[in-house]
Amino acid sequence: MSKVYFYYSAMNAGKSTVLLQSSYNYRERGMHTLLFVPAIDTRAGVGRIQSRIGLGAEAMALQPTENLFDHVKAAHAAQPVACVLIDEAQFLTRAQVEQLTDVSDRLGIPVLCYGLRTDFQGQLFTGSAALLALADNLIELKTICHCGRKATMNLRVGPDGRAVKEGAQVEIGGNERYVAMCRRHYKDALAQA
């Protein structure tokens, strides 16, 4: 039985690296994988998954209105798909997550989603909320705060390095814009902003 997996964490836990390694493992055994990344994430270029340690791969850039089930079904008809992998899954819509459950349930293809659980204000992203509700397996990937504790929060920082309390939920960025922290140090940083 195929399942939908949600690998979640704070920033800088190696989600993209794990995704790329998983795809490599399938491909090394002669199996075909499909990689998707929301088109909104253009840090490495449109339709590209790139890890901080230098691994990268081409992926299908996914718009919010696109139907994942239809994409996978068509690709699977052309060449059997062994696994579907989604980077930055927090940016999926609820409908797209439901479509991924159909990929697993109706097509029998495992789906591995990787993304953030919460935004810089500690609020769930739409895609993450849907995955937390609908995925068969929830797996936390861990990273650490500067104090050594497990980081669970994503602090957004401005150009001056100070915490940002308000703004749009989605602002694409990497280490220059976000810092993974434990809840205590996240609260301390917000109190000093």
Residues noted as catalytic = 88
What is the distance in angstroms between the CA of the first residue and the CA of the last residue of the chain? 49
Q: Residue type at 55? A: L
30 contact partners, CB below 8 Å, separation of at least 6: none
Alpha helices per DSSP H over the chain:
15-28, 68-78, 94-107, 126-134, 183-192
Q: Residue type at 156? A: R
157 contact partners, CB below 8 Å, separation of at least 6: 163, 164, 177, 178, 179
Integer Rg of the chain from CA = 17
Hey, is 4 helix, strand or coil? strand
Return the axis-axis angle of helices 94-107 and 126-134, rounded to nearest 10°: 30
DSSP assigned state of 54: S
